[in-house]
Amino acid sequence: MIFADVVGSTALGERVDPETLRWAMQRWFGRMREVIERHGGTVEKFIGDAVMAVFGAPVLHEDDALRAVRAAAEMRKVGAVVGAELRRDRGLDFGVRIGVNTGQAVTGAGTVAGSFTSGDTVNVAARLEQAAGAGEILLGRETFRLVRHAIDAELVAPLTLKGKSAPVEAHRLLAVASDAPARAPRPRAPMVGRQRERRRVLDAFHQAVADRSCQLFTVLGVAGVGKSRLVQEVLETIDGAATVAVGRCLPYGDGLTWWPLAEALAAGDLLERAAADHGPAAARVAELLKPAGAPVAAEEAVWAVRKVLEVSARRHPLVLVVDDLQWAEPTFVELVEHVAEWTRDAPLLLLIMARPDLLESRPGWGGGQLNATTVLLEPLSETDARDLLGHLTGSALLEDRAAARILGLADGNPLFVEEVVAMLIDDNALSSCEGEGSGAAELTALAVPPTIQALIAARLDRLGPGERAVLEAASIEGRHFARERLETLVSDRASASVDVHLRALARKDLIRSVGAGEDSFRFRHQLIRDGAYDGMPKELRAELHERFANRLESRSSAVPVADELLGHHLERAVLLRRELGETEAATARLAARASRSLRSAGRRATLRDDPASVRLLERALALTPEDHRAPVLVELANALGDAGDLGRCAETAATALELAYANDDRQTAARARVVKLRVTMDRSTGEADQVSLNAAAKPVLDELEALGDDEGLAAVLLHLGHVNQDRYEQACAYLERAMAVAQRGGDRRTAAHAARFLGSIMVFGPVPAAEGIERCRALRRQFADQARTSATLLRHEAVLHAMQGRIEEARALHAEAVRAIDELGIPWLSASTVFGQWVLEMLAGAPERAEASARAGLALLQEMGATNQGSTAAAMLAYALAVQGCHDEALRSADLAAAWAAPDDASSQVPQLAARAHVLAARGELERAEAAAREAVRVSERSDELVQRGDALTDLAAVLARAGRPDEAATALRGAIGLYERKGNIVSVARAQQTLDSLGHKARVANA
């Protein structure tokens, strides 16, 4: 409220011509009105020579007081100019005096005739104006309190006022800062306590820097206990000594596996800079983070992310902060663990915040790792909480009993303490000492809600309807929200004043702006966002979710929006409407949209091998009408299979098949049958299954071919490759076709899978080594951008070189491949490289080296509980030991292999039997030795693995030669040589030939 008057106008009226005076006054009023309106005020009325202006009516702004003071200051300036003009032109003497006051006033509707503004506030404003001297502006107490941060002023002697017993406080305005914010920000309390925790986080950081190592530091604690604040304090201390990247996991829209990482890497252009140091890794991460990027296989994703973090940290120490890890997708949690475990030679601090729920899903979090520390943030101590309360209330009065009650309810939760104080400030129940100190008495009567949620709800209840609407709409997006998107959500009436409300909400410290711009905000705490969201009626929530989704979609042509996000909002809208009793029919269209988004998110997750696909597809399914479910069920069944849940995979495929038949949907039926085949295959053992699987697959294959369904076709061909893996030529043919069909359909994942499998066939199958090398090379070129696939192909190629006698080259290539595979940080994958290494070293005639690699592999696989592959490692170890004459250990190892291996598992049975034959022969138990050797030959003959068959024959020959049966031995050797020659295994051919020659020599000597 402003009152402005022309000084000496009464005197003026006496000696100036009335017409001139009217002209002068009109001119003056006109200029004043301009100024007032420019600052958003309304000229309420002219009373004699005085102007009365109102700010905050009819539209309330949160900075009305400052607007009024700014207007007053400008009125004074303009008044002086007008005064000077009038003096010059008409010799008039004009001065202005102004009073400004703030408070409740009864107002009419703007300047419409008959409106009135009255009340105590008005009287005080008028009195201030009257007390002001020429060119002076006096501010009332409340106005001063509201604009204190933005002005220069001095206290004047209190004014006595008619009808008021107490004198009125007044301040003389000297200057207004031009760039002051609308309202003083609420002062943030300094950090209390937490000294020890701060030290520990800092220690972890310093250690990471000192050792160039990765440290995993986890801060656990309930909401509001101070995790974020602790981290923030530490980061301020670290300031500049490290790059800080922050990502948050979202409580909703599950399936957004990589969201926190995208957010973290976006800060500070980490990804762009990493691209200079490690292009391939950065490129993969970029794809991973794009909502519609190319799918990146799980192992590549994890590797690439670690590389990007590593190279970034090597440039400058890096702190990766992840908030609310309890909400992350399992794949992301595993990523964090992986990075913690595998990062080398890079100063990286993983600073994780989570609610204690994290331990429910990950009971062993960080456990047992030397570089991991977890602290549970306890409630503040009584003293610290009291300190905090003291800081927040500042010089205001708070009665002891009230303080005790607040602290008792807060129970050491600083958020609670803050919210209580904020509520008191909202209610004006706290007054500063500079005021009249009326707070203490009111406080005792104040009801403090007993829980943090109730407290927040109570604060939200105090908001004006416009502010509340804005806050609620903002909660739809989540803890962080953009003004731009918010605008489309609030009803048209409120949208005009979104900015005003946002500022008011910021002033009440419910939200804060993020960054420099005006567009990004966040709720000060997640619980505030939850309070705003939960406080809304379902109907409103449903409507807002739908509008938000529409808003996301309308932009999607330019910026791709994650399907997970879109699906989440649409899904919420449907489910809320159904909870309100709307029928499926009424929500059908919305449900179809939701289901489409979730399904496509689920498919993408499948392509990334992310088990999040299961949940996404289940959610899609729940929103799909019965007669459209079959195709979704097939996708779900596949996702379940990938996640290792064969039981549910089979059930789901069966349901899909039934539905597909009922709908006469041939394509879906065929795909469902492919999944069923896959389950049978994964559960199968033995030859009988192989026959029946082939028989079952054939009609499915034909059907898919007839339908021209590449996706289904590639899958079934890949399965057939697996089913027939010991009949190499057959398998090869299937895999070649699988690869071609998958490539044609753009399915790189299936194509790469087929390529890796083909690579192993080049080694173990009957393909001549030289041809195998060429084939591996070609495939490697084709999959150069896929680390796992190209490294796997390289290691197969290395073994083929060894067969051709280029041992050193083979060793170098193999070592390179192993390095690349180790880089991926997947233990079982690393362990599997020892098999090729064993073959290579046996070819090199270095059984001691072969022994070492088998031993290392066995230890790794044993630790992982992988007895299936472990049996092969044990058998290889047995063989390498036996040929070196370490008989006892060889037998022990052979026993282990026999115990673990399936009877028809040639890769384990052949070497373990051959090892026994060696030992037995050396011990003179020739009959048993021969039996073992013949059994090895028998098992090996079931496959066309030429080298293994040749080896079994060579070993038999050795037993026979020892038994003094050189002719039979020679026959066996000739058989072996024939097999080796077919394979192009020059080394083994030469070795067997040499044995044969010496046999012939011995035979001649014996005959002579």
Give the x/- contact pattern for ligand ADP in 411-440, rule: CB under 6 A.
---xx--x----------------------
Closest CA to 297 of 610, 563, 598, 602: 610
CA atoms within 13 A on the CB side of 881: 21
Residues in region 227-266 near Mg ion by CB under 5 A: 227-228
State which residue has the least CB distance to Mg ion: 228
CB of 525 to Mg ion, least distance (A): 7
Question: Is 227 among the residues that bind ligand ADP (CB under 6 A)?
Answer: yes
Residue 41 contact partner, candidates ligand ADP, Mg ion, none, CB within 5 to 8 A by sort of partner: none
Shorter beta-carbon distance to Mg ion: residue 410 or 672: 410
Shorter beta-carbon distance to ligand ADP: residue 233 or 935: 233
CB of 324 to ligand ADP, least distance (A): 9
Interatomic CA distance for residues 672 and 660, integer angstroms: 8
What is the SS3 assignment for 1002?
helix
Start-to-end C-alpha separation, the chain: 132
Residue 544 contact partner, candidates ligand ADP, Mg ion, none, CB within 5 to 8 A by sort of partner: none
**Which letter, b or e, does each residue of 525-552 get, where b requires 16 or more Cβ atoms within 10 Å of its Cβ?**
bbbbbbbbbebbeeeebbbbbbbbbbbb
Give the x/- contact pattern for ligand ADP in 535-574, rule: CB under 6 A.
----------------------------------------
Residue 61 contact partner, candidates ligand ADP, Mg ion, none, CB within 5 to 8 A by sort of partner: none
- Window contacting ligand ADP (CB under 6 A); options: 221-229, 291-299, 668-676, 708-716: 221-229
SS (H, E, C) 700-733: HHHHHHHHCCHHHHHHHHHHHHHHCCCCHHHHHH
Q: Which of 41, 56, 99, 224 is the binder for ligand ADP (CB under 6 A)?
A: 224
Interatomic CA distance for residues 621 and 615, integer angstroms: 10
Interatomic CA distance for residues 671 and 678, integer angstroms: 11
**Which tokens sit at 917?**
């034959």
Query: What's the DSSP call for residue 560?
Result: -
Give the x/- contact pattern for ligand ADP in 502-541, rule: CB under 6 A.
-----------------------x----------------
Q: Which of 41, 99, 140, 226 is the binder for ligand ADP (CB under 6 A)?
A: 226
Shorter beta-carbon distance to ligand ADP: residue 448 or 914: 448
Distances (CA, A) of 723 to 14, 246, 654, 911: 114, 47, 21, 23
Q: Which of 117, 121, 228, 495 is the binder for ligand ADP (CB under 6 A)?
A: 228
Q: Are 573 and 545 in contact (CB under 8 A)?
A: yes
52 contacts: CB under 8 Å, gap ≥ 6: 1, 2, 3, 43, 44, 45, 46, 117, 122, 125, 126
CB of 690 to ligand ADP, least distance (A): 57
Size of the site for ligand ADP (CB under 6 A): 18
888 contacts: CB under 8 Å, gap ≥ 6: none
The torsion of the CA quartet 848, 854, 856, 858, rounded to 10 degrees, works out to: -150
CA atoms within 13 A on the CB side of 157: 3
CB of 524 to Mg ion, least distance (A): 10
Distances (CA, A) of 649 to 350, 634, 707, 709: 36, 9, 24, 21
Interatomic CA distance for residues 137 and 144, integer angstroms: 12
Shorter beta-carbon distance to ligand ADP: residue 216 or 388: 388
CB of 511 to ligand ADP, least distance (A): 12
Helix, strand, coil distribution of the chain in percent, nearest 5:
65, 10, 25
CB of 418 to ligand ADP, least distance (A): 5
Size of the site for Mg ion (CB under 5 A): 2
Q: Are 288 and 324 in contact (CB under 8 A)?
A: no
Residue 226 contact partner, candidates ligand ADP, Mg ion, none, CB within 5 to 8 A by sort of partner: ligand ADP
Q: Which of 100, 168, 225, 656 is the binder for ligand ADP (CB under 6 A)?
A: 225
Interatomic CA distance for residues 185 and 179, integer angstroms: 14
CB of 189 to ligand ADP, least distance (A): 5
**Which letter, b or e, does each residue of 204-235 get, where b requires 16 or more Cβ atoms within 10 Å of its Cβ?**
bbbbbbeeebbbbbbbbbbebbbbbbbbebbb
Q: Which of 67, 76, 229, 507 is the binder for ligand ADP (CB under 6 A)?
A: 229
Shorter beta-carbon distance to Mg ion: residue 228 or 680: 228
CB of 355 to ligand ADP, least distance (A): 8
CB of 230 to ligand ADP, least distance (A): 7
Give the x/- contact pattern for ligand ADP in 374-393, rule: CB under 6 A.
--------------x-----
Shorter beta-carbon distance to Mg ion: residue 228 or 597: 228
Q: Which of 41, 193, 347, 531 is the binder for ligand ADP (CB under 6 A)?
A: 193
**Which tokens sit at 857?**
């592999």
Interatomic CA distance for residues 205 and 215, integer angstroms: 7
CB of 380 to ligand ADP, least distance (A): 6
Listed in sequence order, the DSSP H helices in 47-119 are: 64-90
CB of 414 to ligand ADP, least distance (A): 3
Shorter beta-carbon distance to ligand ADP: residue 229 or 568: 229
Interatomic CA distance for residues 421 and 402, integer angstroms: 11
Residue 738 contact partner, candidates Mg ion, ligand ADP, none, CB within 5 to 8 A by sort of partner: none
Q: Which of 184, 223, 696, 807 is the binder for ligand ADP (CB under 6 A)?
A: 223
SS (H, E, C) 880-920: HHHHCCCHHHHHHHHHHHHHHCCCCCHHHHHHHHHHHHHHH
Cis peptide before 291 (omega within 30 of 0): no
CB of 134 to Mg ion, least distance (A): 56
CB of 624 to ligand ADP, least distance (A): 38
Give the x/- contact pattern for ligand ADP in 329-368, rule: CB under 6 A.
----------------------------------------
Shorter beta-carbon distance to ligand ADP: residue 246 or 275: 246
Closest CA to 309 of 353, 356, 341, 355: 341
Shorter beta-carbon distance to ligand ADP: residue 41 or 414: 414
Q: Which long-range contacts (CB under 8 A, 24 or more apart) does 843-849 make?
A: 843/799, 843/802, 843/803, 843/807, 843/810, 843/985, 843/987, 843/988, 844/802, 844/807, 844/810, 844/811, 847/880, 847/883, 847/884, 848/880, 848/884
- Window contacting ligand ADP (CB under 6 A); options: 56-64, 188-196, 365-373, 649-657: 188-196
Q: Which of 192, 305, 735, 956 is the binder for ligand ADP (CB under 6 A)?
A: 192
Give the x/- contact pattern for Mg ion in 201-230, rule: CB under 5 A.
--------------------------xx--
Q: Which of 105, 161, 191, 891 is the binder for ligand ADP (CB under 6 A)?
A: 191
Contacting residues toward Mg ion, per CB under 5 A: 227-228
Contacting residues toward ligand ADP, per CB under 6 A: 189, 191-194, 221, 223-229, 388, 414-415, 418, 525
